[in-house]
Homo-oligomer: A and B are copies of this chain.
Amino acid sequence: MTTANLSHIFRNPMIPTLHFNYRYFEVEQEGETQWWFGGGTDLTPYYLDEEDVKQFHGTLKKACDKHNPQHYPDFKKWCDNYFVVHHRGERRGVGGIFFDDLDTPSQEEAFAFVQECANAVIPSYVPMIKKHMNDGYGLKEREWQLLRRGRYVEFNLVHDRGTKFGLFTPQARIESILMSLPLSAKWRYKHSPVEGSKEDELMKVLKTPKEWV
């Protein structure tokens, strides 16, 4: 895949957007070191392909289960509750896993878990790129993708803790924080998909998260 191919691929509304982010924090306070891990992987489709979502969640669950059987159910729920466009009453996507303040059972084991999650990113996502990269689409589907990207912008700028923290921190690397914004986004007054349409099918899942695996 060349760069030209990639920009072509990520314009295709049949290919979901992926976000992931794993990080290690260390804070020195009165001679004592506090550390924790945080992060997550979540998927934002424009059109719902249930097989894709199952494969995605299944891959993340498998990675989690190797470390703790409670991780996937806990972090799946955390993700569903975090990536919420609260003022719209909808999630930005179909979730994935999300966690913060992870400092158990030991630093080594927590690190091994986070590495497992990071290594699951590519296998969770690349199959759906391969599957959909040649799917056709028209202006209507592209428009819907850009409207959904508008909601993505709303989440990131209004609700995301990381963004808000970063933007109000003096001398923060603004470009690094805002690189999660899409290249393009659209808004339309009172837009709502036609009932029973493919777009409406996605909205139902964004309003009421499902168990996928």
Contacts and interface: CB of A to CB of B under 8 A. Distances in A.
Interface of A: 86-88, 146, 150, 153-154, 157-158, 164, 167-168, 172, 174-175, 178-179, 181-190
B179 A189 contact: yes
A10 B146 CA distance: 19
Given A87-B167, A167-B87, A175 B157 contact: no
B188 A186 contact: no
A87 B157 CA distance: 12
A128 to B, nearest CB: 24
A87 B172 contact: yes
Contacts of A154: 157, 178
Complex copy number for this chain: 2
Contacts of A179: 189
B87 A184 contact: no
Given A158-B157, A175-B190, A146 B184 contact: yes
Contacts of A185: 153, 184-186
Contacts of A182: 187
A157 B86 CA distance: 13
Contacts of A153: 153, 157, 185
A164 B168 CA distance: 15
Nearest to A179: B189
A186 B186 CA distance: 9
Contacts of A183: 186-188
A178 B179 CA distance: 22
A188 B181 CA distance: 9
A140 to B, nearest CB: 16
A167 B157 contact: no
B168 A87 contact: yes
A87 B174 contact: yes
Nearest to A192: B175
A148 B59 CA distance: 40
A181 B187 contact: yes
A172 B189 CA distance: 15
A189 B175 contact: yes
